[in-house]
Amino acid sequence: MIELKSAEEIGRMAVAGQFVGELLAELSGVAAVGVNLMDLEHHARRRIKERGAESCYWDYAPSFGRGPFRNVLCLSVNDAVLHGLPRDYVLREGDLLSIDMAAGIDGWVADSAISVIIGTPDPADLKLIEATEVALEAGITAAQPGGRLGDISAAIGEVAHSYGYGVNTEFGGHGIGRTMHEAPHIPNHGRARRGMKLEPGVTIAIEPWFCRSTDRVKVDDDGWTIRSADGSRTAHSEHTVAITASGPQVLTRRPPDPLSRP
């Protein structure tokens, strides 16, 4: 069942969204050569506690993971793209890092992800991140009241193929609101004008993620970290979006990055 949110409830989600967006921007600035992934994890834990928020990841135990998850961030490096466990790893020159987080404030949740390059970027990595960001904006633009869920999926898939990337549909976007993962599932490839009708009050997380040279993935022995099957690099972008009568409203927009990083 999909719960339509009122304008007041969307406003409460936006409070969580602003916090998530600001913290992701902060973390992307902290991430640098020589920084340990656990430093980022503990930085986020501290900020969440200071804000009086709750992590949606801590103790999360879905069917696809080896739960419970005992971190507040997913930190995925290079060929890892989703659900990366924070660990004792020091970031190196040229690493591609994806940071994903979801948090709730006063019972309402927001979810977002960003990919950044540590140090000097490889042009191929910049292109990969750009593709996820362009696809995310295309998916958001397609999330119009009166449209269909397939419009979002088709828009994302079209961008992926225009950049020369395949699309994996095992993991994608999802409904969100009172909890992190709600109906519906939103594949990153699909057919326009198909699927559920998008009505004002629908709230979703749109999250394109691509691997450089494959559409297949594998799971680490930790039961969580998802990697490209061929070891190629990956990137991931995500925003929480509300469908309103006047169009899509992004609830997790980040403030401008002071370091002007991609």
Binding-site residues from annotation for a divalent metal cation: 100, 111, 174, 207, 238
Q: How far is CA 161 from the centre of its chain?
A: 20
Residue set of the binding site for substrate: 83, 181
Q: Cβ distance 81 to 225 under 8 Å?
A: no
Query: Distance between CA atoms of 218 and 230, rounded to whole angstroms?
Result: 9
Which residue numbers belong to the known binding site? 83, 100, 111, 174, 181, 207, 238
Sign of the alpha-carbon torsion through 40, 41, 43, 44:
positive
Residue 2, SS3 per DSSP: coil
Q: CB 129: neighbour CB atoms within 10 A?
A: 24
Helix (H) / strand (E) containing 127: helix 123-142
Q: Which residues contact 256 (CB under 8 A, 6 or more apart)?
A: none
Residues near 234 by Cβ (< 8 Å), separated by ≥ 6?
76, 78, 79, 80, 81, 96, 98, 128, 209, 210, 211, 212, 227, 228
- What's phi and psi for 126, nearest 5 deg? -60, -40
Length reported for the chain:
262
For residues 22 and 116, give the distance between their C-alpha atoms in angstroms, rounded to a whole number: 15
